[in-house]
Amino acid sequence: MMAGLLSTQYNSTLSKLKLLRNNPALSVLTNTQRKYSSKDGAGIEYLHRSVVPTMHYQKSLPRLPVPKLEDTIQRYLAAQRPLLNEEQYSNTEKVAQDFQSGVGKQLHEELVALDKKNKHTSYISAPWFDMYLSARESVVLNFNPFMSFNPDPKPEYNDQLVRATNMVCSAIRFMKTLSAGLLEPEVFHLNPAKSDTDSFKRLIRWVPPSISWFGAYMVNAYPLDMSQYFRLFNSTRIPKYKRDELLTGDKGRHLLIIRRGNLYVFDVLDRDGNLIKPAEVQAHLKYILTDPTQAPSFPLGVLTSENRDTWAGLRKKLLDAGNGEALHLVDTALFCLCLDEEVMRDHIHISHNMLHGDGCNRWYDKSFSIILAKDGQAAINFEHSWGDGVAVLRFQNEVFKDTTEKPVVGPGSQPAAVDSSSAVCRIEFKLNEELKAGIRKAKENFQAAVSKLTIDAMEFKKGGKEQLKKKKLSPDAIAQLAFQMGFLQQYGQMVATYESCSTAAFKHGRTETIRPATIHTKRCAKAFVEQPGQHTVEQLQGLLNECSKYHGQLTKEAAMGQGFDRHLFAMRYLANSKGMALPSFYQDPAYAAINHNILSTSTLTSPAVSLGGFAPVVPDGFGVGYGVHDEWIGCNVSSYPARNVT
């Protein structure tokens, strides 16, 4: 009964959520109405001391709904309509209807039954982990995205050593705040004047965790799933044959630092788990930055860019050669800090460097890496299987706020007079000829892959969110419409388009897909691109309004777990896990085409983030990272040679 009540109450009001969608593969929920309160007196160890325990709402979060099969089929066909001609659509419609009344009905019922047996999680969680961990392609370009930090507003604090020290200390403060249960819970406030107040927090903390979600819901606040957060620290993706594993521990007290392809570690926590003095962190980082050791001929990090089976085989050989302890240090490190030698020339250079870099000064398997260029330009590159960026963005926002508002060292700070040569350990690996050959090959493969990638960016300065809202148009809908128009103008067709939307409002929610290519965007794009001068201003405005309204509906459905992509994916996964023959629905060329996402898009706006980016998900695709700001719109677009990004 509780679940039924929860589902009914939730669905009746969640439609009010004006959720902003996210990054690439990335999937982040952001909004200016989400604030994190910092209580004074948090001290050096913590960012703040939340009145409400971090995981207070987790137990009572609503469960991700399994959509009705007929709704899924209807939404799927609506998304196929603009992509197919009459004959193709008629065939796809018949295949879909047969699926709905036949094998699909059976699979849906089994999925619902399975979901009811697993009330501790969501129906998509296990299949989604499996999809990521079973993928054998390199994580570089195919999965890991990046989000770059804005520069520190005080230019002298962008010095590489100063910023690295501040970021490491803020990151550890975040980790300690999280593990102590003192990090403010992640909540989407629709009425912050009521819910984001000290009085409400003092009240809600006494509501039992089993029903606390309802208390927040009563004041129009929606707590978000925080189950991914524990994977942020001491976490690594371990390559294994056929399917990788995630390793997360909490024993490691050391940080992994990479410079010139050399790997170093030092303890940032003392034996009692307290952060060492910031001046000591600064001293150890200075020691690493001034270490004269040359770049190794065989940098180990490049192996993490390999095909996963290849890397799994080479890792086994590394272990056999006696490198178990060295690898353990890497795997259990709190996180990875990459100190680069280059100065960033422009946005494009930043994108290439933070998305892939040179392959040698990275360990792409760590849950996340903070990358700091010579000029203090910084970014986070993260491994995607463990989470969708919700946790990473929160971390990035907190670190940016803490380093800019309460830096622990400044340009005049002196590093501590400590013996860094004994505190810092440079990791040495034992390499035989076979391993050296593997590293050489990995370097070649890496260069071949990244040399094909082109990135270009633009900033549209003639208006943004404010202007569009005045015209009662959805800013996201208009940005997506622009991508449809651009593609139509350049290639003369409509293609499968993917926009990521977070379902973090549900327990163990991941993402859902918004399908921005619709019959409305097709009609509108054709009117502007192929039929200039054939419509009145009023008619064109009407077409824009239709696009905006329908895109808003799709966004709302996706955020409520009512898209069609994850449902169809879960049923296919279920059929596969039972050893069934693949239903004909999944063999329809139209199903393959709509999942060959030529336009892969994701949006992100945050005071901490300058730009985000990712590679295309198919060889003939585009990776479109964009942000609609108050007065301007920014796009960061990637492609391979099959397409012209400029």
Domain boundaries, the chain: 69-124+454-643, 146-182+230-450, 188-223
Query: Which pLDDT belongs to residue 42?
Result: 60
- d(CA 451, CA 506) in angstroms, rounded, equals 40
Decide: 488 and 525 in contact? Cβ < 8 Å.
yes
Beta bridge partners of 371: 338, 379
Q: Which residues make Cβ contacts (< 8 Å) with residue 581, sequence separation at least 6?
A: none
- d(CA 478, CA 465) in angstroms, rounded, equals 10
Query: Which pLDDT belongs to residue 3?
Result: 32
Q: What digits encode the pLDDT tens for the residues 322-345?
A: 999 999 999 999 999 999 999 999
Beta bridge partners of 382: 368
Q: Which CATH architecture has domain 146-182+230-450?
A: 2-Layer Sandwich (3.30)
Confidence of residue 390 (pLDDT cuts 50, 70, 90): confident
- d(CA 328, CA 552) in angstroms, rounded, equals 48
* Main-chain dihedrals φ then ψ at residue 337, nearest 5 degrees: -115, 120
Q: Which amino acid type is present at position 422?
A: S
| Between 3 and 285, the higher pLDDT residue | 285
Q: Which residues make Cβ contacts (< 8 Å) with residue 577, sequence separation at least 6?
A: none
Query: Which pLDDT belongs to residue 22?
Result: 35
Compute the average pLDDT of residues 119-133: 96
Q: Which residues make Cβ contacts (< 8 Å) with residue 71, sequence separation at least 6?
A: 562, 564
Given a cut of 90, whether residue 25 has pLDDT beyond it is: no
Query: Which pLDDT belongs to residue 426?
Result: 97
> DSSP per residue over 275-291, as a string?
BPPHHHHHHHHHHHHT-
Query: Which pLDDT belongs to residue 224?
Result: 97
Topology annotation, domain 188-223: Monooxygenase (1.20.1280)
Q: What digits encode the pLDDT tens for the residues 277-310?
A: 999 999 999 999 999 999 999 999 999 999 999 9
Q: What digits encode the pLDDT tens for the residues 449-492?
A: 999 999 999 999 999 999 999 999 999 999 999 999 999 999 99
Q: What digits encode the pLDDT tens for the residues 135-175?
A: 999 999 999 999 999 999 999 999 999 999 999 999 999 99
Compute the average pLDDT of residues 89-116: 97
Query: Which pLDDT belongs to residue 189?
Result: 93
Decide: 642 and 353 in contact? Cβ < 8 Å.
no
Q: What digits encode the pLDDT tens for the residues 408-443?
A: 999 999 999 999 999 999 999 999 999 999 999 999
Q: Which residues make Cβ contacts (< 8 Å) with residue 504, sequence separation at least 6?
A: 27, 29, 186, 224, 225, 388, 390
Q: What percent of the chain has pLDDT over 70?
A: 93
Query: Which pLDDT belongs to residue 250?
Result: 77
Instruction: Characterize the bridge pairing of strands 254-259 and 336-339.
Output: parallel
Query: Which pLDDT belongs to residue 448?
Result: 97
- d(CA 86, CA 92) in angstroms, rounded, equals 10
Q: By C-alpha distance, which of 591, 590, 568, 589 is closest to 512?
A: 568
Query: Which pLDDT belongs to residue 106?
Result: 97
Query: Which pLDDT belongs to residue 230?
Result: 93
Q: What digits encode the pLDDT tens for the residues 583-634?
A: 999 999 999 999 999 999 999 889 999 999 999 999 999 999 999 999 999 9
- d(CA 563, CA 341) in angstroms, rounded, equals 45
Given a cut of 70, whether residue 7 has pLDDT beyond it is: no
Q: What digits encode the pLDDT tens for the residues 172-213?
A: 999 999 999 999 999 999 999 999 999 999 999 999 999 999
User: Same topology for domains 146-182+230-450 and 188-223, yes or no?
Assistant: no
| Gyration radius of the chain's alpha carbons | 25
Query: Which pLDDT belongs to residue 37?
Result: 38
Mean pLDDT of the chain: 92
Query: Which pLDDT belongs to residue 325?
Result: 96
CA distances from 84 to 80, 591, 599 (A): 6, 11, 17
Given a cut of 90, whether residue 23 has pLDDT beyond it is: no
Consecutive H or E run containing 483: helix 475-491
Compute the average pLDDT of residues 528-534: 93
Confidence of residue 44 (pLDDT cuts 50, 70, 90): confident
Question: Any idea which residues carry the catalytic annotation?
Answer: 384
Query: Which pLDDT belongs to residue 526?
Result: 96
Q: Which amino acid type is present at position 125?
A: S
- d(CA 372, CA 293) in angstroms, rounded, equals 19
Query: Which pLDDT belongs to residue 378?
Result: 98
Given a cut of 50, whether residue 68 has pLDDT beyond it is: yes
Decide: 622 and 643 in contact? Cβ < 8 Å.
yes
Q: What digits encode the pLDDT tens for the residues 225-251?
A: 999 999 999 999 999 999 999 999 878
Query: Which pLDDT belongs to residue 627?
Result: 94
Q: Which CATH architecture has domain 69-124+454-643?
A: 2-Layer Sandwich (3.30)
Token reading at 39: 């209580």
- d(CA 146, CA 163) in angstroms, rounded, equals 18
Decide: 318 and 330 in contact? Cβ < 8 Å.
no
Query: Which pLDDT belongs to residue 530?
Result: 94
Query: Which pLDDT belongs to residue 12?
Result: 33
